[in-house]
Structure 1
């Protein structure tokens, strides 16, 4: 089952699963009528009865339904909506005997992107052990989602993967605009560490997380290996995160994220890299 199936990541994930001949139940608030799924269930991912009905015949869940930023609702709507949906999906998965749940966490769980003040990572490249600095309801919802997954693993033995996605997009969706913004003002990318991931790669990562042999509650950062800025990463860090401890060299445009867990656990490496060179003439150093 894929929740949030009609969303920006839900659709490419469904397309990829359909291309591999995987039978899928799609869950979304509305049925647009063109989802490549064997069955479509409409309703909220936070509604137990809806999710219970959707779980029929399901052995794996990819949970993508969420309010994607704190600006898309009130603090209560963002936190309570996201955490309720994740808890309900895991609870009904346990009831149905589902053995694995892959779910969309976010780089925003760090607290940097949506904090009301400028924050800085303790060290770079960041990894899954980096201390969180949560100061907004969206980051708190993702922290709670990850804690929910760990509890469900301990209580019910469900294997899970929290996918800490960065900015998601494609050549015609978000990435050109954001790359141009970073070219004009590199500070605009500091909160997200200038990271990104193509939606096609994100969908493939979901498939890998659903099928690779792994156990327990896992957390992984995912990103393209380079940044969405044309400037050298170490220069960007010198300017915008000067107090972050440097634990490894970051040559060229290397993303300041340790991607080894995604490679080790999922066998994942991004394949679709955005051509930042197209924005070189716009760069304001």
Structure 2
């Protein structure tokens, strides 16, 4: 019998790709969201994640749709700084994520994957990073209320794992999510490298983001792990070493840079998840 997974925010840009990937690989997917799309890829129930009671019910049973859930993928959130007021973003995102973690524990769910964020690396890098490529080893550096909420979500996850030693919680620090239709604009970035330097010229194809989610659900072990999830290349045509020499000449390099390789290190995700990006904007333009 297939494993049942609840995906929050399944109607969003990343959520649609995640739902499609999980359905295609044999998961029984249930979507909970504030928005029900006209042509959903999986059964969808309208749920307000800031209401704890609704989240508990969504993770246990909804009438004749299902009873019991094996895993949760939490993607729903106000998706970035500036989309709403600072306090609105902070309260919505922290409350929703607390409710997801707490309701999963209450429902006996021991496999939780959620969308953390590249912003914890110090975006928009007005203060340069400590070294390049950036990775998960240095402390989080939230610079916005959105990033602060993501930082507290990772802290919450660590405590939930301490309270529940058999819990597997995986935070995925996604880069800027892109779909194939977005790639037509990428060649224009070459005119001014500063336009995309705010996240070290990184991105994540939604389909590769979905691959990372699936691999996180399937990873062995328990406890908290956090991974940067980006594509293997940058959004630029210029070699990465040249971008660094031009824009961040004083930042130490931990190793030589080759070609257009990402400055958002995915080494840990490759090593522990078996993650390997399959889609590049260069194949689409």
Instruction: State the TM-score, normalized to the length of structure 2.
Output: 0.91
Equivalent position to 1:135, from 143, 146, 156: 143
Q: Return closer, same or farther for 1:232/1:276 CA change in 2, 3 Å cut-off.
A: farther
Equivalent position to 1:25, from 30, 45, 49: 30
Do the aligned residues in 2 keep the contact of 1:122 with 1:131 (CA within 8 Å)? no
* 1:6-26: CA deviation from partner (whole Å, max 9, x where unpaired): 111111111111112311221
* 1:208-266: CA deviation from partner (whole Å, max 9, x where unpaired): 11112132100001111111101111111122122211111111111113212101221
1:131 aligned counterpart, secondary structure:
coil
Q: CA deviation at 1:276?
A: 7.7
Match of 1:283 in 2: none
1:112 aligned counterpart, secondary structure:
coil
Instruction: Determine whether 1:262 maps to 2:273.
Output: no
Corresponding pairs, count: 272
Equivalent position to 1:61, from 43, 68, 72: 72
Q: Return closer, same or farther for 1:102/1:155 CA change in 2, 3 Å cut-off.
A: same
Match of 1:46 in 2: 50
Do the aligned residues in 2 keep the contact of 1:14 with 1:35 (CA within 8 Å)? no
CA distance in 2, matches of 1:233, 1:277: 20
Match of 1:163 in 2: 172
Q: CA deviation at 1:33?
A: 4.0
CA distance in 2, matches of 1:47, 1:271: 37
1:249 aligned counterpart, secondary structure:
coil
Q: Which runs of 5+ in 1 are unaligned?
A: 279-285
Do the aligned residues in 1 keep the contact of 2:7 with 2:75 (CA within 8 Å)? yes
Do the aligned residues in 1 keep the contact of 2:122 with 2:129 (CA within 8 Å)? no
Match of 1:206 in 2: 213
Equivalent position to 1:126, from 134, 137, 141: 134
* 1:76-97: CA deviation from partner (whole Å, max 9, x where unpaired): 0111111111110000000001
* 1:9-65: CA deviation from partner (whole Å, max 9, x where unpaired): 11111111111231122100022242222x422122221111111102111100000
CA distance in 2, matches of 1:274, 1:195: 12
Q: Return closer, same or farther for 1:15/1:260 CA change in 2, 3 Å cut-off.
A: same
* 1:172-193: CA deviation from partner (whole Å, max 9, x where unpaired): 1x3332x234212101111111
Q: Which runs of 5+ in 2 are unaligned?
A: 1-5, 61-67
Do the aligned residues in 1 keep the contact of 2:72 with 2:111 (CA within 8 Å)? yes
